[in-house]
């Protein structure tokens, strides 16, 4: 494994064995249609995007869905886990930054920067750092797809403490950056009869 610098227990957790095992938890074929359905709702509000950056893509299920919907768009991902980053690189259709989100320093901007199921696993004290990277990586849009709770709460995550936190990520981001405007939001239910995903709430923000 590449010797990456880690500031938090959460980074070590996802870079290590648990992150390796996570790759098989969401099968690509099943996930692809569900993810495409979700992003079709988001893209209906953005229109054409020429470039997209994902923070924490794992093996790239979101980016693969976006490639179906936006085949000409340049896709990028920031991934901490070595094995997941390698699989994403082997796919060959995304630029991969193999590093921690906390260490990532964007040298360009993308039409949309987004995060899905990742903010919930960030050390809460360092969320402002990640919010800043999301904001500064985006030219036009920021999308957040996470577990929502109106107030911060920690949830036991598969027997592990200190690894999953729910809160109002979107509200906190808008509080930090007054030029962000909420364009749309929605919910995906785990018992949706056609395109189920985890109980996720998504938010689309636009820079004014």
Classify domain 9-207 by CATH number: 3.40.50.150
Beta bridge partners of 187: 201
Residue 2 predicted with pLDDT over 50: no
User: What is the predicted pLDDT for the residue at 27?
Assistant: 53
Q: Which residues contact 172 (CB under 8 A, 6 or more apart)?
A: 127, 131
Q: Which residues contact 122 (CB under 8 A, 6 or more apart)?
A: 8, 10, 101, 130, 165
Residue 1 predicted with pLDDT over 70: no
The residue extents of the domains of the chain are 9-207
User: What is the predicted pLDDT for the residue at 6?
Assistant: 73
Residue 5 predicted with pLDDT over 90: no
User: What is the predicted pLDDT for the residue at 18?
Assistant: 55
Q: What angle do CA 116, 114, 151 make, to 5 degrees?
A: 60
Q: What is the mean pLDDT of residues 171-195?
A: 97
Residue 45 predicted with pLDDT over 90: yes
pLDDT in tens, 105-136: 999 999 999 999 999 999 999 999 999 999 99
Lowest mean pLDDT among 29-33, 72-76, 177-181: 29-33
- Under 8 Å between Cβ of 183 and 45: yes
- Under 8 Å between Cβ of 15 and 4: yes
- Under 8 Å between Cβ of 135 and 142: yes
């Amino acid at each position: 494994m590449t010797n990456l610098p880690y500031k938090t227990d959460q980074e070590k957790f996802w870079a290590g064995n648990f992150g390796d095992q996570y790759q098989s938890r969401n099968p690509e074929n099943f996930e692809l249609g569900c993810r495409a359905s979700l992003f079709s709702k988001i893209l209906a509000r953005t229109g054409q995007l020429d470039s997209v950056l994902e923070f924490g893509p794992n093996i790239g299920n979101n980016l693969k869905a976006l490639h179906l919907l936006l085949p000409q768009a340049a896709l990028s991902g920031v991934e901490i886990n070595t094995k997941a980053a390698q699989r994403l690189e082997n796919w060959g259709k995304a630029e991969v930054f193999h590093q921690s989100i906390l260490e990532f320093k964007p040298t360009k901007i993308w039409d949309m920067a987004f995060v899905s199921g990742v903010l919930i696993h960030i050390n809460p004290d360092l969320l402002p750092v990640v919010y800043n990277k999301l904001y500064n990586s985006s030219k036009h849009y920021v999308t957040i797809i996470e577990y929502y709770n109106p107030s911060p709460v920690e949830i036991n995550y598969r027997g592990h403490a200190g690894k999953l936190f729910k809160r109002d990520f979107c509200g906190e981001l808008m509080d930090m950056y007054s030029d962000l405007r909420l364009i749309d939001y929605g919910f995906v239910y785990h018992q949706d009869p056609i395109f189920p995903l985890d109980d996720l709430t998504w938010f689309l923000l636009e820079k004014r």
